[in-house]
Chains A and B, each alone.
Chain A
Amino acid sequence: MQSARGTLLVLPALTAIALLYALPLARSLITAFRSNDGSWTTEHLARAFSLYGRDVLFSIGVVSASLVLITVISISIAGYLVLGTTPWAVRLLRWLYRWPLFIPFVVSGQLARSFLSTNGMMNGVLVETGLLAAANAQSFLDWRGLVLTFAWKQTPFVTLLLAGAMAAIDRSHIEAARNMGAGRLRCLFNILLPQAAPTLWVGLILSLVAMLSVLSVPLMLIAGNPTMMTSMMAHRITYYGDYGIANALGLFSYALTAVTAWVYLRLTLRREANP
């Protein structure tokens, strides 16, 4: 009786998820393997790879570079927030780093378009401070712009999670290590980071999913080829109405996420097996 009523309460939401998620998901998986005459085929996959293999590699490259950048910066910021000894600097940094978190992806695309262009503020400041000769100023609106924009947008998110995990670690561990003469950098890499690593992984995987989902930023930043898989999927749909190849590309992005999630699960299981 109880569970019947509970099921009844969940049913509308479940129906909505089935119609808005499970059905399109099934359609995307099936269409990727269906030829026009209705028989099963792997032709879409092969054609997607031969047509867009460079874009797939480009996407993997951009996403990996962004993840590396995000990891390095978020560890530095989160580490300083937890171990920093200058109160005003810690407070200021805590207030500063969060801002891009609140900014939508479309808007960050537009921010990058003006900030990273040849005449943008980044080049302006580099030239004014003498770090760059005016003649060498160039537009960063290519793969570098994509990496910088993704990192700018996602670093605060990963930092927020990581700093939270680090702050939850027992302070006495750090103090004991500090008393034994360990430097702050050693505390960060030998005590804080190993314990907070699972949270870092979750943040990175969610960022990977976000970067592989965003359509607006690659459309706005990259004009030609190669570009991100998302751009090519949209291109295939809008110009050719070709769902087979678009969904085959979608399959690649699922596979990429699945592989990363699998690596994470393996690492977690191994950690739990021998702590």
Chain B
Amino acid sequence: MKASTLLTQIGLGLMLGIVAFIVFGPLLNLAMWAFAEQWFYPNRFPTDWGFAFWERVFRPRAGAWVSLFNTIIVALLAVLLSMALAIPAGYALARQALPARNVIMLLFLLPQAFPNLPIFVNIAAIFYQWGLNGTLLGVVLVHSLPGLVYAVWIATATFATVDRSLEEAARNLGASPLRSFKDITLPQALPGLLAASIFVFLDSIDEFTGTFFVGAPEITTLPLLMFNASMGGNYQVAAITALILLIPSVGFMLIIERFLKADVLSRIGR
């Protein structure tokens, strides 16, 4: 009995070890490339370690700073635009009897329900006619499409969880609709709206396809920089850029569970 439990424990440990290797092996390999100064086949490990490529990437006036700056500006503007459109829409969808509400909800679902590459390709063709290709505004708009979809769904779910009676009490005490929204509804919905903003922000930071068609080559974001470095065979620069891209994704995801409460999650799609 004792021996068999011991054997089970060892077997479990072995299995989990394999899972850990599959999950973290690729990340470890990437980290090795980020600090490798010399690594030729068939050496199992880099023959020279160091920060030389980090200096190259972060040299003043190197492409990385511009890309980093573009990435953050675009992500912030995409959050602003998506949330500015999604907050009123989400409030109306959650609170007011709208004609064809289900059709509207479905319309905001479609962009995620079908492959989006043809959409990006045709957005690029339309933007080209409008003179938006290769501009910051064009990239912000193309990033706002997936952003808006997430934002509307989460905002609708969030406003649905806000207690209605408090709003009615405020209105009865003579507050204007705008005032009761600003002072009562908005503070209660803030955690969900913040979560939506974080989703839009992360999605924009990682966005590749839209930027590839609309922004390149004038506007380069970090994912494009990473892609170009990798295709150019510069694995060190690609690895360093990839590591930078991982920081916000992993960081935000670790804290997002605090913002997105279970009661909001359970209402998404209702």
Interface residues of A (CB under 8 A from B): 2-3, 5-7, 9-10, 12-14, 16-17, 20-25, 27-28, 31, 86, 89, 92-93, 96-97, 99-115, 118-122, 124-125, 128, 134, 152, 206, 209, 212-216, 219-220, 230, 233-234, 237, 243, 246-247, 250-251, 253-254, 257-258, 261
Complex CA gap A253/B141 in Å reads: 24
Q: Given A24-B126, A104-B206, A215-B209, A111 and B29 touching (CB < 8 A)?
A: yes
B201 to A: closest C-beta gap in Å: 13
Chain B positions within 8 Å of A13 at CB level: 85-86, 88-89, 108, 148, 152
B107 within 8 A of A: yes
Task: List which B235-270 residues lie within 8 A (CB) of chain A.
Answer: 235, 238-239, 242, 245-246, 249-250, 253
A sample of 8 more A-B contacts (CB under 8 A), given A102-B253, A111-B30, A214-B209, is: A6-B98, A7-B99, A105-B206, A106-B242, A213-B116, A213-B209, A250-B118, A253-B117
Q: Given A3-B99, A254-B115, A215 and B148 touching (CB < 8 A)?
A: no
Q: Which of A14, A118, A250 contacts B115 (CB 8 A)?
A: A250
Chain A positions within 8 Å of B144 at CB level: 16, 20
CB <8 Å contact, B20 and A257: no
> What are some 17 contacts across the A-B interface (CB < 8 A)?
A7-B98, A10-B92, A10-B93, A12-B85, A21-B145, A25-B118, A109-B230, A110-B239, A111-B29, A114-B33, A115-B26, A119-B43, A209-B113, A213-B209, A220-B231, A233-B121, A261-B113
CB <8 Å contact, A5 and B209: no
B212 within 8 A of A: yes
Chain A positions within 8 Å of B43 at CB level: 119
Query: What residue of chain B has the Cβ atom nearest to residue A128's Cβ?
Result: B44
A244 to B: closest C-beta gap in Å: 12
B223 within 8 A of A: yes
Chain A positions within 8 Å of B209 at CB level: 213-216
Complex CA gap A92/B93 in Å reads: 41
CB <8 Å contact, A114 and B239: yes
CB <8 Å contact, A114 and B26: yes
B51 within 8 A of A: no
CB <8 Å contact, B118 and A110: no
Complex CA gap A3/B43 in Å reads: 69
Q: Given A20-B144, A111-B27, A253 and B118 touching (CB < 8 A)?
A: yes
Complex CA gap A102/B107 in Å reads: 27
Chain B positions within 8 Å of A25 at CB level: 118-119, 122
B214 to A: closest C-beta gap in Å: 11
CB <8 Å contact, B23 and A97: yes
Complex CA gap A152/B118 in Å reads: 25
Complex CA gap A103/B33 in Å reads: 17
Query: What residue of chain A has the Cβ atom nearest to residue B12's Cβ?
Result: A89
Among all A-B residue pairs, the 9 with the closest Cβ atoms: A250-B118, A6-B96, A104-B206, A24-B122, A13-B89, A9-B92, A111-B26, A115-B26, A9-B88
Query: What residue of chain B has the Cβ atom nearest to residue A205's Cβ?
Result: B113
Chain B positions within 8 Å of A2 at CB level: 96-97
CB <8 Å contact, A96 and B23: yes
Residue of A6, A28, A110, A216 with most chain B CB atoms under a 10 A cut-off:
A110
Complex CA gap A118/B117 in Å reads: 31
Complex CA gap A246/B236 in Å reads: 34
CB <8 Å contact, B238 and A110: yes
Query: What residue of chain A has the Cβ atom nearest to residue B249's Cβ?
Result: A102
Complex CA gap A111/B243 in Å reads: 10
Complex CA gap A2/B208 in Å reads: 41
Query: What residue of chain A has the Cβ atom nearest to residue B27's Cβ?
Result: A111
B133 to A: closest C-beta gap in Å: 12
Contact with A along B72-116 (1 / 0, CB 8 A): 000000000000111011011101111100001001101111111
Q: Given A27-B125, A111-B242, A114-B239, A20 and B12 touching (CB < 8 A)?
A: no
CB <8 Å contact, B230 and A220: yes
Chain A positions within 8 Å of B8 at CB level: 86
Chain A positions within 8 Å of B121 at CB level: 24, 28, 233-234, 237, 243, 246-247, 250
Query: What residue of chain B has the Cβ atom nearest to residue A22's Cβ?
Result: B107
CB <8 Å contact, B25 and A115: yes
CB <8 Å contact, A86 and B12: yes
Complex CA gap A3/B241 in Å reads: 49
A8 to B: closest C-beta gap in Å: 8
Complex CA gap A220/B118 in Å reads: 19
B28 within 8 A of A: yes
Complex CA gap A39/B145 in Å reads: 31
